[in-house]
Amino acid sequence: MRKLLIPMLLLLMFVTIVLLGNSAVSKSAGSIESNTITLRVGQSKSANHPVSKGIDKFAELVEKKSDGKIVIQTYHDALIGNDREVIESAQKGSIAFASSSTPNMTSFTNYFTAWDLPYIFESKKEVYKAIDGKPGDVIRREMEKSGFKVIFFPDYGFRQIVNNLKPIEEPNDLKGVKVRTTNSKIEQADFNALGASPTPVAWSEVFTALQQGTVEAEGNSYSLLWDSKHQEVLKYATEVNYNYSSDIVVMNLKKFEELSNQQQALIMEAGEEAMVWQRNLANEREEEAKQQFIDYGIEIYEPDENEMREWKKATEPVWDAFVKQGVAEPNYVDLILETLGKTKEEIFK
């Protein structure tokens, strides 16, 4: 018996350690077995950005609607990973939720590529009509194939061209200018078409790159630029709305399906309410940030209608290069245009 006792005790200790380890892993991702469910969401934008505020609002609504039984812990400023890292963590289930800008999601579905096409969206009204309509539903179904439940789409905003070199009033003024871009092939093609020299730089390194002259310009929304203090290394802005970027908040699909029907419904309801609230905030903040740029001394050039036609026509070749099967799916591009009630020819007329 004594000979058997020691192995049995060792086996019991091993099983206990394994169970405790699994419990710790479960809690780090978000436990759904206790009376209070705690879930985590990670993303990279500053805590002051409208996207971050929208996620905070979502967490607040979920806790309120569940009477405190579901608590969502929010982690901004890339505290637990950059866009790519938190999305992969959510896919694996290491965390429950993640948020990312949509260009970083093209590895999961190339339907997002169509959203990057220059001037496919010409106003926020068009953006919301597409996201809330059939084009958005296509994305929601596609993301489930990769193990995600789409909760809502925070409003990021239109990208403007900003630089510290000279006033940019027409496409020719960009000739040879070193412009920071994301890893989006379409955004890089945009600036090639405009005569610039696109240079992909990680977001965390852009401020220093502008400061040191590695790049001289970038494209981004006023609110993100201001909240990231980029006004300190910029002098000029050109308001051309060449690209709209959305964010997306997703939940690990398996974790979502483990919730009760009532819990699933309240999470989706909270997401819808947070999205409406966040859109209003994002639009207000963008106008406020634009004025902050002006007050800071940044020169903002706003092309008139005729000049905007030149900006659009300069980027039309990007559509010819990317609207094809396997890249920006032609059928999906047509669905977006049909939903918005316009044609490519009308965009670039």
Q: By percentage, how much of the chain surpasses pLDDT 90?
A: 82
pTM of the model: 0.86
Render pLDDT for 39-52 as a digit per residue (tens, 0 to 9). Answer: 999 999 889 999 99
Q: Which is more confidently placed, 167 or 202?
A: 167
Cβ proximity of 151 and 62 under 8 Å: no
Quickly name the fold that domain 158-245+287-347 has: D-Maltodextrin-Binding Protein; domain 2 (3.40.190)
Are the CB atoms for 220 and 159 separated by under 8 Å?
Answer: yes
Partnered with residue 251 across adjacent β-strands are: 97, 149
Domain residue ranges in the chain: 2-108+143-156+246-285, 158-245+287-347
Alpha-carbon gap, residue 289 to 264, rounded angstroms: 36
Q: What is the CATH number of domain 2-108+143-156+246-285?
A: 3.40.190.170
Residue 184: pLDDT band by 50, 70, 90 thresholds? Answer: confident
Calculate mean pLDDT across residues 105-122. 93
pLDDT at 19 over 50: no
The predicted-structure confidence for 139-155, as pLDDT tens digits, reads as follows 999 999 999 999 999 99
Could you report the per-residue pLDDT of 20-74, keeping only the tens digit for each? Answer: 444 443 444 555 555 899 999 999 988 999 999 999 999 999 999 999 999 999 9
Mean pLDDT of 278-291: 96
Question: pLDDT tens, 119-141?
Answer: 999 999 999 999 999 999 999 99
Distance linking the first and last C-alpha atoms of the chain:
90
CA distances from 30 to 100, 221, 248, 258 (A): 20, 33, 20, 12
Helices 330-340 & 124-131 angle (0-180, nearest 10): 120
Q: What is the mean pLDDT of residues 224-245?
A: 95
pLDDT value at 17 more than 50: no
Lowest mean pLDDT among 4-13, 85-94, 281-290, 326-335: 4-13
Q: Which residues of 287-306 are buried (b: 16+ CB within 10 A; e: fewer)?
A: eebbebbeeeebebbebeee
Do domains 2-108+143-156+246-285 and 158-245+287-347 share one topology? The answer is yes
- Give the integer Cα–Cα distance in Å for 147 and 93: 9
pLDDT tens for 4-13 read 555 555 555 5
**CA torsion sign, 317 to 321 to 322 to 324?**
positive
